[in-house]
Structure 1
Amino acid sequence: MSSASPNLNTKYAWSELTQHGLPKRPAHERAADFLEIYGLYDEASAREQASRCIQCPNPSCVSGCPLCNPIPQWMLLTAEGRFLEAAALLGSVTNMAEICVRICPSDHLCEGACILEGLSGPVSIQGLEQFLTEYAFAHGKAEVSTAPPNGRKVAVVGSGPGGLAAAEELAKKGYEVTIFDSALVPGGLLVNGIPPFKLDRSILQRRIDILKRLGVTFHLGVKLWEELTLSTLRTDFDAVFLGFDSRKAQPLEIPGADLHGVVQALPFLLQKTTPIPLDLPSIDVTGKKVVVLGAGDTAMDCLRAAIRYGAAETTCVYRRGEAQMPCGHHEYENAVEEGARFVFQAAPVAVSGDEGGAVKALRLVRTELSAAERDARPAFRTLPGTEFTIEADWVIPALGFAPVPCPRGEDFKELTRNEWGGIVVDANQMTSMPGIFAGGDIVRGPSLILHAVRDARRAATQIQKYLAAVGS
């Protein structure tokens, strides 16, 4: 993949070098298992790809990242072969970089903002981040150092990305951290929503093991707000961070949505990949025709999982066009390579069933797109007289997520809420209850994992300031 001829230190290396993403397993091979599909750059390729960065004076990749990742700085270090320094710089601005990079929609963020996007292709930021994080682990430089214990205790509610990031930051600062979660296995959506072919479970477990070595304690299988109350947490801990999951699937609201064979995305994804014993419906798509509604990353995950589960056909139906798909382009590309079919500019009208109440077909109608406002997806309208039907045995709505309000009751009456019931926080991530901080979905609604990590990092910093101000 690498080339020795171009001078990697020239300003115009980007025009002399071809952009290459991470090496990828053949589609026929990866579609037969749930292993991760990407490999890593070798050292020469990593230097070569990093040298394509032109070191913009006002780097749009940095502003395009929710964490303001100092990408040009570690790109320069990587191009010079100073991989451990680059990895350390990357690790200083984020938590769980090896996890975030595997699921970050980079083509909508840093890579999408790269000035080379419309020229020779963006710098391969995501692939280089993955190379650096794994290089650090391979060379024993991924452990996190901590300050001496300070005798203060902080509770973290939720073991998803935000909770794990908050716990790591607080443990680094010397706090005794306890994570509480109702789940039996930590990770939140990282384990309950991301398939292993994107994030191998061993990668997540490796990070959890690091947290345990930092002294973080996990209390799992807890009945939140029953066995464990907010009042108890306020009494037993010096501060609390609320970072629990707060989303639910958008329902499919068309005739026939209640037929056997219509199943939501997350139960479908979880059926064979979750390490947690769950009461899930039996979903056997072997030899069946599967139709997925929607075109986000979760929809692509469902398509690719269905292929791995042995579906005879997997079809994605989306009411807009390919250019308007909200998923990352590489997610779409991977699904196509693995055999998924796509029907664009079509909207579901009804699910048809057989005499036994099971799905047999999906009725669709063609759509027409209108001109889009700036930075917005175009609206669409259905076209009368254009209905058509496709065969289906299973229909999987992957239509996005809606926020779930914060619990109510006496325990939460002091918390100020927004219009949908989420927790209101100030610029320091503190709620209306002193010492109670919050971030992630319960504050902003369903959003990117990077937003949850950013909230958690900010909260950890402000918890330190808050506890210093209130004293012991």
Structure 2
Amino acid sequence: MGKATGFLEYERIDPKKRPPEERIGDWNEIRIERDPEVIKTQAARCMNCGIPFCHGGVLLNGMAAGCPVHNLIPEWNDLVYRGQWKEAYKRLIRTNPFPEFTGRVCPAPCEGSCTEGYNMESVTIHEIEYEIIERAFAEGWVETKKSRPTGKKVAVVGSGPSGLSAAYYLNHVGHEVTVYERNDRPGGLLMYGIPNIKIDKGIVERRINLLKESGIKFVLNTEVGRDISAQELVDGYHAVVLCGGATKARGFNVPGSDLKGIYYAVDFLKANTKSLLDSKHQDGNYISAKDKNVIIIGGGDTGTDCVATSLRHGCRSVYQFEIMPEPPKEREPKSNPWPEWPKQLKVDYGQQEAIAFAGEDPRNYLINTTKIVGNDRGEVAEVHTVEVTWGRDAQGRFGPQPVPGSEKVWKADLILLAMGFLGPEDTIPNELGLERDPRSNIKAEFEEHQTSADKVFAAGDMRRGQSLVVWAIQEGKLAAREVDRFLMGKTSIRS
């Protein structure tokens, strides 16, 4: 698998990106094309490890270990090394319908579980996946597929990664699929939740057009539960798959949280992308960070996206607040052993750009917001914080404890809340009387995906809570498999 001694001969070479000083001036993807020979030698590093943990797709200590869609990674690495790119593409799409998405936005749990990563640098799996699918599109290998119609009609609610995946597989086995999307463009968070910088929307539209050509119908600007009832879909289709995501944002309850200038990160990012696509920001229909002091409360990928977007607007300053401690620079072998996802400090693209812009990392760890103070116009003016340590209070409750004397006041004109999501919105579950799990997600067992209502299935973040794009794709596939089994008594969709 790859060159037998490749992992000894070649060092890991990470994908190249455009310099931060250059890329903050536009909204284009930041990746630089690579020499195919470099990709070949990187694929050669994949070793014949016997048990490829990169396949895994299991949860260890609550985090993904290995590829959730079970990509046949060593096989396509070997084919790339041998120059058999078309065969590599065939192996790749056997498990993953949308490698162009995961090759851009997946955090690559496969690399965290790479056997080589146990005591060396892991294989650049993420980059090789990207190169395979982009070559496939360039060479014309990506084709639409149609099967003999079954006469069964399926409605998919939501066109994010789980909805698109479910639609892809259901259509592939011959069912008539209609996807309902409340936004004006399909793609869900791929379209409006992730900035153009990470995934150009032309890439999303390229795949959507292929899905349309294959026979999938998209109904846009239609919110199920408001513009059309969920029950109407249940009555009018042979099955319904709910893939609406976990879009109920976590609240923010501190004094001053009702002031003007405080927005959820998802609203900030969505408005920015929509305005960019509609008019290249000429319509002004977005939340601008220009000349503002920006405070982002929360970390993760969404916080990073807010940093990068604010910089491109021309903000005066940008800081991120995280209540958790700074991760270690290296994996902790005892508390976070291989093949678990490595919990270690990562300087992502947004932080790289902020360092180039201001000379410092925008992240501030172990910090808690105590109140927000406004001006005489009711607008945000200051954020008051205190440093914390994690421990037990006088009542024995574990949590963040304030550090006396660590209070600080920060200038702020714009506050973005990137603190995650609590679960799906209530409209559809309440209308259909669906059972919920303790975290308010729609209750449907993993790999079964059947809800408490007849003919209704659920997948993606709506079922499992906020998670990775690659998990959403896998859940869409598994839900499609169970819908197909429900409709036909058997299924040819593999997990």
- 1:288-299 matches, within 5 Å, as 288-299=292-303
* Count of aligned pairs: 455
Aligned to 1:458: 478
CA distance in 2, matches of 1:301, 1:190: 13
CA distance in 2, matches of 1:299, 1:28: 20
Aligned to 2:127: 127
Change (3 A) 1:183 1:42: same
* 3-state SS of 2:405 partner: coil
Change (3 A) 1:10 1:225: closer
Change (3 A) 1:18 1:69: same
Change (3 A) 1:27 1:464: same
Q: CA RMSD in A?
A: 2.8
Aligned to 2:91: 89
Q: Which consecutive segments of 4 or more residues in structure 1 shift more than 6 A?
A: 324-327
Does structure 1 conserve the Cα–Cα contact (< 8 Å) formed by 2:248 and 2:425?
A: no
Q: Which amino acid aligns with 2:222?
A: V
- 1:92-241 matches, within 5 Å, as 92-106=94-108, 109-117=109-117, 119-241=119-241
Aligned to 1:37: 30
Query: What is the deviation of 1:248?
Result: 1.9
Query: What is the deviation of 1:90?
Result: 1.1
CA distance in 2, matches of 1:141, 1:24: 27
Q: Is 1:345 the counterpart of 2:354 in the alignment?
A: no
Does structure 2 conserve the Cα–Cα contact (< 8 Å) formed by 1:156 and 1:180?
A: yes
* Cα shift readout 1:210-264 (whole Å, capped 9, x = no counterpart): 0001011111112412442333323322222111133222122222222222222
CA distance in 2, matches of 1:9, 1:163: 35
CA distance in 2, matches of 1:232, 1:353: 47
Query: What is the deviation of 1:9?
Result: 5.9
Does structure 2 conserve the Cα–Cα contact (< 8 Å) formed by 1:307 and 1:338?
A: no
TM-score, reference length from structure 2: 0.85
CA distance in 2, matches of 1:9, 1:455: 30
* 3-state SS of 1:360 partner: strand
Aligned to 1:65: 67
Query: What is the deviation of 1:280?
Result: 10
Q: Which moved more, 1:195-204 or 1:287-296?
A: 287-296
CA distance in 2, matches of 1:281, 1:348: 29
* 3-state SS of 1:430 partner: coil
CA distance in 2, matches of 1:234, 1:357: 46
Change (3 A) 1:394 1:283: same
CA distance in 2, matches of 1:280, 1:399: 26
Change (3 A) 1:190 1:409: closer
Does structure 1 conserve the Cα–Cα contact (< 8 Å) formed by 2:153 and 2:237?
A: yes
Does structure 1 conserve the Cα–Cα contact (< 8 Å) formed by 2:263 and 2:417?
A: yes
Change (3 A) 1:379 1:95: farther
Aligned to 2:438: 419
Structure 2 residue runs of 5 or longer lacking an equivalent are: 57-65, 329-342, 393-397
CA distance in 1, matches of 2:41, 2:317: 40
Aligned to 1:382: 402
Does structure 2 conserve the Cα–Cα contact (< 8 Å) formed by 1:261 and 1:394?
A: yes
* 3-state SS of 1:315 partner: strand
Aligned to 1:252: 252
TM-score, reference length from structure 1: 0.89
* Identity rate, percent: 31
Q: Which amino acid aligns with 2:437?
A: N
Change (3 A) 1:391 1:197: same
Does structure 1 conserve the Cα–Cα contact (< 8 Å) formed by 2:295 and 2:321?
A: yes
Change (3 A) 1:425 1:276: farther
Structure 1 residue runs of 5 or longer lacking an equivalent are: 1-7, 372-377
Does structure 1 conserve the Cα–Cα contact (< 8 Å) formed by 2:3 and 2:81?
A: no
Aligned to 1:357: 378
Query: What is the deviation of 1:128?
Result: 0.8
CA distance in 1, matches of 2:199, 2:3: 36
Aligned to 2:76: 74
Aligned to 2:21: 28
Q: Which amino acid aligns with 1:418?
A: D
Change (3 A) 1:342 1:411: closer
Q: Which amino acid aligns with 1:30?
A: R
Aligned to 1:374: none
